[in-house]
Amino acid sequence: MLWQDGHQPGFTGSALDREDLIRTDPDRLAAMTSSLSARLLALDGIDPVLDDRGMLGWKSLAEADPDSELIFLGVLDGRPRFTEVRPDLPEGATRSMAIFRVLDLLPPEEASTYAAARSLIDWHVRHGFCAKCGTATAIFRGGWGRNCGACGAEHFPRVDPVVIMLAEYEGRVLVGRQPRYPPRRYSALAGFLEPGESIEEAVARELHEEAGMKTWSVRYIVSQPWPFPSSLMMACIARVEDDALTIDYTELEDAIWVTRDEVVASMNGDPDARFLPPPPYAIAHTLFRRWLDETG
Amino acid sequence: MLWQDGHQPGFTGSALDREDLIRTDPDRLAAMTSSLSARLLALDGIDPVLDDRGMLGWKSLAEADPDSELIFLGVLDGRPRFTEVRPDLPEGATRSMAIFRVLDLLPPEEASTYAAARSLIDWHVRHGFCAKCGTATAIFRGGWGRNCGACGAEHFPRVDPVVIMLAEYEGRVLVGRQPRYPPRRYSALAGFLEPGESIEEAVARELHEEAGMKTWSVRYIVSQPWPFPSSLMMACIARVEDDALTIDYTELEDAIWVTRDEVVASMNGDPDARFLPPPPYAIAHTLFRRWLDETG
């Protein structure tokens, strides 16, 4: 098992075999598309439609919109799996908040399969033109890229790496809240990794920018995909020089140091807890669990 | 220090303060641009020009091409630092191999500053048009993005996460060679992380695709930016189920299991070593050093 500690992150564990060699083999791809066992992910806009067991719904590939671009996700339970980029996907469909209610119910393995589909659909919707020359592009490699007939450029789906971290000092960790969070929720600080940085340097920079901290060391803990639209969340624990804070209020509404007991109360759902924790499908939740294990 | 083990990866350690708040503050950005102490990275095409100490060369900002787009890199040694996206950058300039000879000589801290500049320039050159609507875009945020006057979309520089890993089984590790490598060189296997995957899952998938292996566990070790054009290399060690290999010869020319003694001989430059190691600025080099430390 990839998560020996028993704390499997949200959006991980799909049994999907991506079968990447099929993407570049027109004959095998055609065989997948014409297979009677091929299945199409059931979606409402870009949100999943669950079946009566509370799992991802699938339907016949024949139900795809004839004008859709098809994406070959891979093979799952012996069946080819597809999703579609519908021409009529409404503008703004990717910003619905309904998905977060579904995620409270969906097992991580199911959310993991969905994450790949969602990130790909969103990328296609927002990348229909060649960034190099401005011409309309076409889907290729079974949906895992777009190419330009005018200049020949090939474009591949983005994955945006994000560092998310707990600063640790003398048995306490730093948690912050963004203005858009539900009331009383605090979580780990986070930010996009930039060109020219390592993970370790991005953690140190973010802690400096958002909280004025100096980082001594960074330990990577665990990662997850985050399909809003297509991040890779890399969770770390950073030892910092002291507990003085200089908060960047353009990024954070607040940041506080919390003790192990306070994190335990929060994760246990104690009504008197000092703060509400991140939801179970967020990597910050896994990061808290790991920190509690390490310090327990 | 961020690399307590003493094995600082290539392309890390820049003292550049990115000063991200300046990027979105037109007045402060203008003050940086008009500062008499502002410096422009000296480039030959997209390759660095070194000074007589063998460090990155810098020149007056007044020497920038008046038609260039300027990128504010940050502040280094108290001076604003810029690079430029020249309108006359020749097609294919980003594919010169001369850079690798320079990298053999450049300290990692200098290569780190250069990596940010190179990745940004390359991104601007290949992303002059809006991927959402096809219109020509303009630079904004001091060069850390482009926006579209037609549809309002904002585009940010890509960073492409890559997993690079040693499979480990009973004291040996798996190394492979790609056809484009210099003769006798072997390195860690690697591949791009895809949407919907965690780091741990991408490692397991790549080892399965390229070598037919089943992964038991994945340990993250260390990371580096790799500016060709803009990857984030995430180095891991994976314990695998057995040492049977099914090599994907479309990706690899060869893959072999090597012992600790064979890696030691290779890293020490022993002329009788079984293989030539990756260069010191590559994260695979750091990964070998870390594995030798752990098993020593």
Q: What ipTM was reported for this prediction?
A: 0.97
pLDDT digits (tens, 9 = 90+) for A104-162: 899 999 999 999 999 999 999 999 999 999 999 999 999 999 999 999 999 999 999 99
Residue A152 inside a domain? The answer is no
Instruction: Out of B115, B216, B223, name the one closest to residue A199 (CB).
Output: B223
- How does B164-193 read in b/e, with b if 16+ C-beta sit within 10 Å? bbbbbbeebbbbbbeeebeeebbbbbbbeb
Residue A2 inside a domain? The answer is no
- Cβ burial, residue B257 (10 Å; 0-12/13-18/19+): middle
Residues A179 and A275 occupy one common structural domain = yes
Residues A47 and A119 occupy one common structural domain = yes
Mutate which of A14, A91, A197, A203 to disrupt the B interface (most B C-beta within 10 Å)? A197
Instruction: Out of B209, B222, B224, name the one closest to residue A20 (CB).
Output: B209
Mutate which of B75, B199, B231, B249 to disrupt the A interface (most A C-beta within 10 Å)? B199
Residues A187 and A288 occupy one common structural domain = yes
Residue A155 inside a domain? The answer is no
Question: Would the pLDDT of A81 be above 80?
Answer: yes
Mutate which of A155, A194, A250 to disrupt the B interface (most B C-beta within 10 Å)? A194
Instruction: State whether residue B227 sits within 8 Å of chain A by CB.
Output: yes
Residues A34 and A92 occupy one common structural domain = yes
B15: closest chain A residue by CA: A201
Instruction: State whether residue A106 sits within 8 Å of chain B by CB.
Output: no
Report percent pLDDT > 90 for chain B: 92
User: Residue with structure tokens 């870390």?
Assistant: B290
pLDDT score recorded for residue A96 = 76
In the predicted model, what is the mean pLDDT of chain B? 95
For residue A209, list chain B residues with Cβ-Cβ distance below 8 A.
20-21
The total domain count for chain A is 2
Paired with A254 in beta bridges are A177
Among A88-92, B60-64, B186-190, B220-224, which stretch is predicted with the lowest mean pLDDT? A88-92
Residues A165 and A291 occupy one common structural domain = yes
For B107, the domain range is 20-126
Task: State how far the alpha carbon of B245 is from the alpha carbons of B41, B206, B216, in Å.
Answer: 47, 13, 16
Residue A148 inside a domain? The answer is no
A17: closest chain B residue by CA: B205
A-contacting residues in B 153-172 (Cβ below 8 Å): 153, 155-161
Strands B215-226 and A254-259: unpaired
Confidence band (pLDDT; 50, 70, 90) for A230?
very high
In this prediction, residues A175-182 reach a mean pLDDT of 95
Residue A131 inside a domain? The answer is no
Residue ending a domain, among B79, B103, B126, is B126
Among A85-89, B165-169, B222-226, which stretch is predicted with the lowest mean pLDDT? A85-89
Instruction: Out of A132, A195, A217, name the one closest to residue B119 (CB).
Output: A195
Task: State how far the alpha carbon of A99 is from the alpha carbons of A44, A49, A87, A223, in Å.
Answer: 10, 10, 21, 21
Among A2-6, A182-186, A228-232, B162-166, which stretch is predicted with the lowest mean pLDDT? A2-6
C-alpha span between A203 and B38 (Å, rounded): 27
Residue B184 inside a domain? The answer is yes
Provide the CATH number for the domain around residue A170.
3.90.79.10
For residue B134, list chain A residues with Cβ-Cβ distance below 8 A.
128-130, 134-136
In the predicted model, what is the mean pLDDT of chain A? 95
B160: closest chain A residue by CA: A159
Phi and psi angles of residue B61, each rounded to the nearest 5 degrees, phi first: -65, -25
Question: Would the pLDDT of B219 be above 70?
Answer: yes
A-contacting residues in B 193-222 (Cβ below 8 Å): 193-201, 204-205, 209, 215-218, 220, 222
pLDDT digits (tens, 9 = 90+) for A5-23: 789 999 999 999 999 999 9
Look up residue A124 and give its two tokens: 């296609």
Residues B178 and B224 occupy one common structural domain = yes
Paired with B41 in beta bridges are B58
C-alpha span between B205 and B275 (Å, rounded): 26
pLDDT score recorded for residue B91 = 67
Residues B166 and B41 occupy one common structural domain = no
Instruction: State whether residue B91 sits within 8 Å of chain A by CB.
Output: no
Residue ending a domain, among B80, B107, B126, is B126
In this prediction, residues A33-50 reach a mean pLDDT of 96
SS3 percent helix, strand, coil of chain B, rounded to 5, is: 25, 30, 45
Which residue, B119, B294, B281, B223, is CA-closest to A204? B223
Residues B168 and B119 occupy one common structural domain = no
Residue B75 inside a domain? The answer is yes
Residue ending a domain, among B126, B149, B169, is B126
Strands B79-85 and B254-259: unpaired
For residue B135, list chain A residues with Cβ-Cβ distance below 8 A.
134
Residues B173 and B259 occupy one common structural domain = yes
pLDDT digits (tens, 9 = 90+) for A185-221: 999 999 999 999 999 999 999 999 999 999 999 999 9
Residues A185 and A266 occupy one common structural domain = yes
Residues B265 and B207 occupy one common structural domain = yes
Instruction: Out of B4, B9, B18, name the one closest to residue A198 (CB).
Output: B9
Query: Would you put residue A263 in left (φ > 0), alpha (ψ -120 to 50) or beta?
Result: alpha
Residue B210 inside a domain? The answer is yes
pLDDT score recorded for residue A192 = 98
pLDDT digits (tens, 9 = 90+) for A254-283: 999 999 999 999 999 999 999 999 999 999
Which residue, A288, A280, A222, is CA-closest to A261? A288
pLDDT score recorded for residue A1 = 64
For residue A196, list chain B residues with Cβ-Cβ distance below 8 A.
11, 14, 112-113, 115-117, 119-120, 225, 227
Instruction: Out of B1, B126, B209, name the one closest to residue A131 (CB).
Output: B126
Residues B103 and B60 occupy one common structural domain = yes
**DSSP structure class, residue B94:** G
C-alpha span between A118 and A94 (Å, rounded): 9
Among A226-240, A262-276, B2-16, B197-211, which stretch is predicted with the lowest mean pLDDT? B2-16
Confidence band (pLDDT; 50, 70, 90) for A92?
low
For residue B111, list chain A residues with Cβ-Cβ distance below 8 A.
none
A251: closest chain B residue by CA: B21
